[in-house]
Structure formats: C-alpha cells, structure tokens
Structure 1
Amino acid sequence: MTDTKVPSTPDPGVEVAGRPSYGRLTSGEQALVAAAADLVPLLRDNADRADRDRKLPEENIAALRDAGLLRLSVPAAYGGHAAGMRTLLAVLEEVGRGCASTAWVLSIFYSGGVFAGLLGDPVRQRIWAGNPDTTLCGVIGVPVPVRTVEGGLVLDGQWGWASGLHHADWIGLDVVTERDGAPERGVALLPTAELSTRDTWHMAGMRGTGSDSVVAEEVFVPEEQFLSFARSATGAYRRGGEDEALTRTPFPEGLMVPFIGSLLGMGRAVYEQIVEKLRAGRPVVSAASLHARAVDAPGVQANVADAATLIDSAVLQAGRAADDIDRAAVTGAALTPVVQARLRVDISYAARQIRQAVDLLLDVGGASRFDLSSPVQRIWRDVGTASRHPAFTAEINRERYSRLLLGLD
C-alpha cells in the first residue's frame, strides 16, 4: 500500500476494550482494519457452525472477499493490497475477535500469496490475472519426497494438515527432490483441483480451519511452479520496487509471525465477553464472599487487570516482530541471527501471554463459561490448540535466543 501516512501522535499503547493502536498505518491500511472489524458480528454468529462442521462457512469466505481481505498479499500489479505485516496483524486481530478459525485461514492465505508472489510473471498471471481474489494455502514442515522429470516434478504422496484447504484455489506443498546427486527442498504450487482430500482434522480446537490432508497421485507440476528454498536464501526471487516489498519478506520468520494474529483476536474476544458479564453485575455464588457482585471483589479486579496487561504485552511483542519483518521487507536487509531468534521468542511468549490471560479471565468468569452453549469455551479450546503450534514452541526458541545472547553460537 502506497498512500499517504495519516499523521498521528506517538502510539500510547493498546486499549484492550477498544480498537488497538497499530502505529501509523496509512489511510488505506486503516480502511482494511475497519473492514475487518465490520465483519466481527457475522463471523461471531457463524463461529459455532465452523466449529461443528470442521470448516468455514462459505458465507465467511464471501465476506472476506467482499471486504477485499483476500487480496492482502496479492501484488499491486494484479489488483492486490501488498499489505505489510503490521497491517496483517491488525486485520487478523479483528477477524479473530469474531472467529479464530477464519483469522487463522486468512493468515494462511496471506502467506500463500507471499509465496506465489516470488515466482515468475507467467505463474503470477496464471494465478491472479483473471481473479485477484484467488486463495492459496500451504503445508510446510515435513517435506515429502517427489521425482524430478523433464520440465518439472511429479508428486505422489500425502500432506497434512492443510489449513484453509476447503476454500483454497491453489496450494503450496513442501517437497524434496534429488538434483545433481543432492537433495533440494522447496515448495511446489499447484491448483487444489488436481489433488484429493482425506478427512484427518479431528481436533479439540481450531476445528473450523478444516485442516485436512491432501493427496497427490502422480501429479505433474511445471518447473516454473517450484520455489527452491536454497535459491530463495540467495535472494533469487526478490524484486525491486516499493510495490514488491513482500518478495523481500524474510523466510521463514515472515511466515511464522502471521500465526499470532488470530490468537490476539481470541484474547480480546474472551476479555470482551467476560468483562461484559462482570459489568452487567454477575453475582458471586459463594457463602464465603464479602461481595454480592463479582465485579466488586478485589481479586476479580486484579485478574482483569492482569489479563488486560498480558493481552497488551502480547500485542506489543507481536507488533515489534511485525515491525522487524516490515523493515526487512522494505529495505531488503537480512535479519541478524539474534533478531531472527528474538522474533520467534516474541511470538512464542505472545501466544503464552494470551493463554495465561484467558485462564485468568475464566477464573473470574464462572463455570458457566464452559457450558457448550457459551462461545467462551470454544475460544478456550481454540487458544489451547493454536498456542501450541510449532511456531510457538518457546522451549526451543528461547534456547537458541539465549545461546546467541551469551555468545555460545
């Protein structure tokens, strides 16, 4: 996005009960965040259905499309917003207030667009020239061996779990092949219509992401639709110009940071619902209580303050990570090893802070929040599942960070 920055005072922080501040977004970026916020009532109404059906309602995808949010990472040349990470997290936080699974899938679509944008113009035109709202998901983590043949690759295997699969037009699959006697790993992009699916997504939380598995049976992928990790590390896919900044997104950190956006929205959603109940005068059901209303108890007040602070801290840490990604994309400068490690720690701790905040709020929200009719119990399951994604493994991320800080690596 290239429109003029809106003048603002220095960012004073985040108001949990209101719309958070994300620094100096442009007017166009602010419009995207506002469009996401407008979708919250619809997404909230559909969230139980997404959880029950284990995939997003078509109505949710249509709403994202109508709001222009499927174009967040589409290059400007193809009618997209080419939005940076700060904008993405602000959008995802709003979407996540309404439906955690929808926000997660939208983050996947964003990353899919970043990957596709790295490829040559013929492939980009194939994907977006006729439809800038084309959606791309992906599976990266465990590469599946494939064969190199003349003109491309032949895929035969299974990949899981593919979040957003049921609403994606294209998909990027983590593959490894042998070339010149050495393994070469990368992502093969192809239309989802060329694959079959297997019903493998049976989870306690984030059920609406529909993260089933995909199966390829002797599927040919042209060489021009293969993105080599080795070549990407050398900057081979980068493009110049302000509108192509996303092609300079640091990998893999630039694909990990988006995941935190939906969790920020979940934290705010639980906060808003619990605080609303407390303000409405929820009674204390305890013979030992000195207060008729829960809101008047100092312990309840302390939990709310602590939860708000944890959510604020998570937003601030995520925002710092987003700024690092955006700065690297704009300047083309590589992230230092210390910054790479800190980015992972930032989002890991942000995820933990959201989980802790939700637990504190539930401690004062009452056992009725776990009734199956309460949306809070669904969000609690979503937080528990999403915050344990491999991107948020603090036990591993902090070891790497500490070794760099101490000069051991």
Structure 2
Amino acid sequence: MSTALTTPTSSPMATAAVLAAIDEAAPRLAALAPEAERLGRLPDESAAILRRTGLMRMLQPKAWGGAEAHPVDYIEATLAAARSGCGAAAWVGGVVGLHPWELGVMSPQAQEEVWGADQDTWIASPYVALGRARRVDGGFVLTGHWYFSSGSDHADWAHLGGLVVDDDGEPIPGSDHHFLVPKGDFEIVPGSWDTIGLRGSGSNDVVVDERFVPTHRVLEYATVVDGTAAAAVGQQDSALYKMPWFVLFGNAISAAVVGICEAALDATLAYQRERSNVFGTRQSQDSFTLPSIGEAASDIRASRLQVIDNVRRVHEVLERGEVPTIAMRAEARRDQVRASWRAVAAVDQLFARAGGNSIRSDQVLQRLWRDAHAGLNHAVNIPGGAYQAAALTQMGLDPEGAVL
C-alpha cells in the first residue's frame, strides 16, 4: 500500500494541515497555471502538489488511507485551492477529489482493485449517462463516448455513466448506472480538450468500446443520488457517505467556481491598487470603481457562505439520523446554482472596470474570468430546472423529474 502523505484523520488539526498545505502551495500552483493552459492539462508538478496537500483523499475512507473528513472541510479546501489562482487545479481537485467518496460506497472488491496497490490513485469521470451497457453473465459490456473527463490525464480509473439496454439494444428508461472502468479499457481522445476556459483541467473526451465491467464495479445511479448506497457497504451510520450526491458534487463544482471568483477579486485588488486610468485618475480614488469592487466582494462572500451552508445543513440532518427532505435537497440545489451565478456576475463587474490592459494574455484576471465562465457552463450550474424545483417544493408540490 502507498505511504504517501495525506491527512490521517478527520480531526480539525488534520483539516488545518490540508488548508495550510494548500496555502503554502498556492504561489507555485499559480506560477504553473500558464503552463497548464499551454498543455491543456495539469502539469505533472501541479498534480503532485494536489496529492501532497491531502485534498484528493479528504473524502476517501480511513480504511484506505483517507481522511473521511467533514464534507464542509472538503468544500473549504476546494475553495482554498481555487483561490490559489490556478482555476484548473481547483477544478480537478473538486471534481476528482469527490470520486473517492463514491468509491467509498461501492463494493469492497472494487475498493481493493483501485486502492490496493496505490491509495493515491485518481479516478476521473464523467457521470452523464452517455454510455450503453448490455447485460451479460457477471456484469455488463459497456460502450460509449463521454465529454468533460476532468483530470483524466492523471487518472487510472474512471466513473462513467450509462444506460442499460434491452434485448433490442434500446436504452431502458431509468436504468442509469455508474460504471467503474480502468485505464486501458477507456481511452482519451487526443486533442479533444481545446476551450476558452479551464484549459488546464484536461477535461478530455474519453471512449470505451465493448469492454466488460463486472457487477461489483457498477453502481445504480439512483442510490448514489439519494444517499442510500452507503447502507449496502456497511456505511449506514456515516453521515458523510449518506450525503445526497448532488448536494456534495454540485457544491464542490460551485466551490471551485466561487473560489476562482475569490481569486479574481484578489487579482483585481492587486491590479487596481496602483493603476491609473487614461485620464490620470488613480483607481484607488475613483468613486465609480471602488463601490463596484465593494459590491462584488460582498456578492462573492455571500456565495461562499451559501455553498458552505448548503453542505453543513444537510450533513447535520444526517448526523441526527434523519433523512434530508426533497425540499431541503431542492433548496440546496437552488442555492448552489445561485451561488455560482452570483459570484461570476460579480467578477463580470470587476472585469468590466479593469480597463483595456486587463484583456492582455499575460494578465491573471482575464484567465480567471474565462475560467469562472467555463465553470458556470457545467451541467450542475444550469439554473432553470433547479430554481423551478425549489419553487415547486416551497409550494408543497412534487418537483417530478427534477435533478436533486
């Protein structure tokens, strides 16, 4: 088993050590950010830094060298990584850092296969059900093409979403499953990640062609979403592993977005502090720019607090042995989406007042602005359905079909 440095417990001291490690690594992650953009993936050094901080194992079971940290601590760590100034590193940390949590509610055999030789193994995704799986003896045969597999260049496994097909090859409605596939059974499509934002996240297309996936490496999607998968592997008393998937995953995505916006605020303050506009007015004395910075800072902080509160409230319900209601899950989704949009709108105001030089490619602010907008385009940040579902539950109505 690996003996690489990680946080050994979920104690406040261990969490503080992760945050301290991220803070210490932040300047180097920021310095490597342009290289990540050039490569279209995290440089090996950036990936190694993320491993050393302990972020990637915060949600991993203690039995496999993880921290089993409080989920709020994981959200805080993702925010901190984003504030480093490398949005791509934070994005990979938030997304790939969640995947040990899902493996933690899978079969012990699957956990042994992934972590038995190396507890620092990374698992990529995506979960969207673009694959098609045919039932065979002992498992499924999976085929598909997926987009947005963040961190896949550094991953040895991938959680891939798919639908089971019937005897005629037609997808069975409601048959969504997650399939855990090793590297070699999935392939990265060369040159598939070429974007305007989060370029360094390496969110490649991946393909699988007629590969067998045994039953112990398959998880029914619905049991992950509602948090009931934990009971099947003896985690029925764990508030962490009973967290509803969208509450944890959605807020991890938003934490990366909001943290990038915090980094953009930091960059704005540094940039505007000494800047004069074309009329010779110091921005630190400008009565138009300063109020806009103050307003943006408040909106970004509100987003941070909302993301943290979403996760804390649901976790507290589970700690009491209760089940989060559909209304609570809908509120968490609504607020998670709103936090992302509010924070990015605040960055738009900052960028709009940063002057012409801010659009130069060597300026940090323009990269963070692009990264924030790219994160906003993730599926969990689509506002319509999340807002509608929350409104329906507030009216006492059933948000049928809502992604909660």
**Normalising to structure 1: TM-score of the pair?**
0.88
Alignment of 1:32-111 (within 5 A): 32-98=18-84, 99-111=86-98
Query: Relative to 1, partners in 2 of residues 1:161 and 1:332: Cα closer, same or farther, differing over 3 Å?
Result: farther
Match of 1:250 among 238, 244, 248: 244
Check the 8 A contact 2:105/2:229 in 1, yes or no: no
User: Partner residue of 1:159?
Assistant: 146
Check the 8 A contact 1:162/1:213 in 2, yes or no: yes
Query: Relative to 1, partners in 2 of residues 1:133 and 1:312: Cα closer, same or farther, differing over 3 Å?
Result: same
| Residues 1:298 and 2:290 are matched in the alignment | no
User: Partner residue of 1:283?
Assistant: 276
User: Partner residue of 2:4?
Assistant: none
Identity of aligned residues (%): 26
User: Partner residue of 2:402?
Assistant: none
Question: Residue 267 of structure 2 aligns to which amino acid in structure 1?
Answer: Q
Match of 1:399 among 385, 388, 391: 388
CA offset at residue 259 of structure 1? 0.3
| Residues 1:186 and 2:177 are matched in the alignment | yes
Tell me the secondary structure at the aligned position of residue 102 of structure 2. helix
Tell me the secondary structure at the aligned position of residue 146 of structure 1. strand
Separation in 2, partners of 1:107, 1:4: 18
User: Partner residue of 1:353?
Assistant: 342
Query: Relative to 1, partners in 2 of residues 1:244 and 1:340: Cα closer, same or farther, differing over 3 Å?
Result: closer
Deviates more, 1:146-155 or 1:184-193: 184-193
CA offset at residue 131 of structure 1? 1.6
Check the 8 A contact 2:143/2:209 in 1, yes or no: yes
Separation in 2, partners of 1:243, 1:368: 55
User: Partner residue of 1:211?
Assistant: 203
User: Partner residue of 1:223?
Assistant: 215
Separation in 2, partners of 1:166, 1:315: 30
Match of 1:141 among 120, 128, 134: 128
Match of 1:270 among 260, 264, 269: 264
Deviates more, 1:322-331 or 1:371-380: 322-331
Gaps of 5+ in 1: 6-25
Query: Relative to 1, partners in 2 of residues 1:92 and 1:234: Cα closer, same or farther, differing over 3 Å?
Result: closer
Check the 8 A contact 2:150/2:204 in 1, yes or no: yes
Separation in 2, partners of 1:42, 1:50: 12
Query: Relative to 1, partners in 2 of residues 1:54 and 1:347: Cα closer, same or farther, differing over 3 Å?
Result: same
Question: 1:211-260 CA deviation, whole Å, 9 max, x = no partner?
Answer: 11111122111111000124555824325569944321213332211101
Question: Residue 184 of structure 2 aligns to which amino acid in structure 1?
Answer: A
CA offset at residue 104 of structure 1? 0.9
Deviates more, 1:310-319 or 1:81-90: 81-90
Tell me the secondary structure at the aligned position of residue 306 of structure 1. helix
Question: 1:85-138 CA deviation, whole Å, 9 max, x = no partner?
Answer: 211121111111231111111112122111111111121122112222111111
CA offset at residue 341 of structure 1? 1.1
Question: 1:145-188 CA deviation, whole Å, 9 max, x = no partner?
Answer: 11111011111221122111111111011011147996522101
Tell me the secondary structure at the aligned position of residue 257 of structure 1. helix
Match of 2:304 among 315, 322, 342: 315
| Residues 1:125 and 2:125 are matched in the alignment | no
Question: Residue 281 of structure 2 aligns to which amino acid in structure 1?
Answer: A
Query: Relative to 1, partners in 2 of residues 1:400 and 1:364: Cα closer, same or farther, differing over 3 Å?
Result: same
**Normalising to structure 2: TM-score of the pair?**
0.89
Question: Residue 246 of structure 1 aligns to which amino acid in structure 2?
Answer: L
CA offset at residue 278 of structure 1? 2.5
Question: 1:352-377 CA deviation, whole Å, 9 max, x = no partner?
Answer: 12112212222332221111111111
User: Partner residue of 2:316?
Assistant: 327
Question: Residue 58 of structure 2 aligns to which amino acid in structure 1?
Answer: L
Separation in 1, partners of 2:369, 2:266: 14
CA offset at residue 73 of structure 1? 1.6
Question: Residue 188 of structure 2 aligns to which amino acid in structure 1?
Answer: T
User: Partner residue of 1:13?
Assistant: none
CA offset at residue 262 of structure 1? 1.2
CA offset at residue 315 of structure 1? 0.7
Question: Residue 206 of structure 1 aligns to which amino acid in structure 2?
Answer: L
Query: Relative to 1, partners in 2 of residues 1:359 and 1:366: Cα closer, same or farther, differing over 3 Å?
Result: same
Check the 8 A contact 2:72/2:311 in 1, yes or no: yes
Question: Residue 387 of structure 1 aligns to which amino acid in structure 2?
Answer: L
Question: Residue 211 of structure 2 aligns to which amino acid in structure 1?
Answer: V
Check the 8 A contact 2:130/2:145 in 1, yes or no: no
